[in-house]
Structure 1
Amino acid sequence: MTIAQHLAVIDRLCSEDFPSEHSRSDVGSGGPGYRMAELATSEDFWEADGAAREETEEQYEADRDGLSGLLTRRWGHPDVLSLSSVLDRVTDGEDIPEPWGVLSSHVPDVYLWKPAGHDRWLALGISQWDRELPFQLLAVITETDPP
């Protein structure tokens, strides 16, 4: 997908209703109060060397930053929210509302916007569940305030 396609997906998700129950869609997943788009997914790293993984990570960061630049022109500078303390709270047994609870387990931080006059948050981040698994560029639209 190109950056223009990423923006089209984000625009669509910003305007769609949230699903009433957890489900998959053509671009990702969602549930009550949120939608998550998997904008890009890399190959896995089971057979790759460290240099290939590092190069892929740098490319995903560049893609996130490029998309972030376009979103910043629309909605102003984002907040950067570390999700590590949210993951600590989940690990300690605290009930964190979705999508933040699950997101904290595989996305270290997100760029976060809440455009003026909107009741929804947009979070943009890079996911990787484990070192051997693919990177994903994720966009999350939610009405649930960050914890």
Structure 2
Amino acid sequence: MDIAQHIALIDELCFRPFPAEHGPSDVGFSGPGHHVAVLRAGHPLHDGDPGDWAVTADQYEKERDAVHEVLAARWGEADLWNLQTVLLRTEAEEIPEPWARLAACARTAWLWQVPGTGRWAAVAVADQDPAGGVQLLAVVTETAPP
């Protein structure tokens, strides 16, 4: 998938209805009030060399940043949001989905409030679970970030 396809999917998710139940979707998984799309996915670490994992993570971060450039031109500049602070907060408070899951799998995300939709969008590289592989994720939700 290329950057234009990533942007098109994010645009579509900004208007796609949310399902009533949690479960898989045609692009990743969804639940009440959120969609999480897997834009790209690498192989789990046990399938290869740790060096390949690092190269894939770096490549996906560059792709995440390229998506950021396009969306920032459209929706305004975004700060790189530190999800590790959200992850730490999960020990003491209930963090709503999809933010708790995103904080468990990614360290940072670009984050916007999408004008005219009442939704939030984030783009992140999930690289915290070696068994799950590196993934480039897009999140669209009606739940404000914690």
TM-score for both structures, normalised by structure 1:
0.92
Partner of 2:142: 143
Whole-Å separation in 1 of the counterparts to 2:132 and 2:45: 6
How far did 1:14 drift? Answer: 0.6
Q: How many residues of Structure 1 are paired with residues of Structure 2 in the alignment?
A: 146
How far did 1:51 drift? Answer: 2.2
Partner of 2:86: 86
Give CA deviations for 1:44-87 in whole Å, capped at 9, x if unaligned: 22143332122111111111111111111111111221111211
Partner of 2:62: 62
- Between 111-120 and 11-20, the greater mean CA deviation after superposition: 111-120
Partner of 2:38: 38
Whole-Å separation in 2 of the counterparts to 1:31 and 1:123: 16
Whole-Å separation in 2 of the counterparts to 1:132 and 1:34: 24
Partner of 2:127: 128
Whole-Å separation in 2 of the counterparts to 1:90 and 1:34: 19
Runs ≥4 in structure 1, deviation > 3 angstroms?
none
TM-score for both structures, normalised by structure 2:
0.92
In structure 2, the gaps of 5 or more residues are none
Whole-Å separation in 2 of the counterparts to 1:69 and 1:21: 33
In the TM superposition, 1:1-40 aligns within 5 A as 1-40=1-40
Partner of 1:114: 113
Whole-Å separation in 2 of the counterparts to 1:54 and 1:129: 12
How far did 1:11 drift? Answer: 1.1
Identity %: 43
SS at the partner of 1:145? coil
SS at the partner of 2:46? coil
Match for 2:95: what amino acid?
A: I
